[in-house]
């Protein structure tokens, strides 16, 4: 057997696990999914509370609390979005 083909076979055997899915990334994806679901639930709860307050079925204090939670969630989402955009722009500025 030629030494080059032996080296190629060894390199392939080492590189092959890199094509397998990383279980740590699957956990991260699940964490992101639950974060987005929590964000959507917060918005939905605030919307329901606002509707109940307009019909006089909700306590004004509960409405203010729901709106404050929604404001915090939206501000957090905007900050995360800005950080992702900054990181993407930084990657684009890297020389190739």
Chain segment 32-86, per-residue pLDDT in tens: 889 889 999 999 999 999 999 999 898 889 999 999 999 999 999 999 999 999 9
Instruction: Confirm whether pTM is higher than 0.75.
Output: no
Count of domains for the chain = 1
CA 12 to chain centre: 33
The crossing angle, in degrees rounded to 10, of helices 60-93 and 23-54 is 140
Give the domain range for residue 82: 3-93
CA 78 to chain centre: 12
Q: Kindly report the CA angle at 80 between 79 and 85, in degrees rounded to 5?
A: 100
Q: Per DSSP, which regions of the chain are E strands?
A: none
What is d(CA 48, CA 62) in angstroms, rounded to the nearest whole number? 11
Q: What is the model's pLDDT at position 30?
A: 84
Question: Rg of the Cα trace of the chain?
Answer: 25
């Amino acid at each position: 057997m030629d030494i080059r083909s032996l080296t190629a076979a060894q390199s392939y055997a080492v590189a092959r696990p890199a094509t397998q899915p990383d279980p740590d990334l699957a956990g991260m994806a699940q964490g992101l999914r639950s974060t987005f679901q929590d964000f959507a639930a917060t918005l939905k709860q605030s919307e329901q509370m606002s509707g109940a307050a307009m019909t006089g079925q909700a306590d004004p204090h509960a409405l203010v609390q729901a709106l404050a939670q929604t404001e915090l969630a939206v501000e957090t989402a905007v900050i995360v979005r800005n950080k992702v955009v900054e990181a993407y722009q930084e990657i684009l500025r890297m020389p190739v």
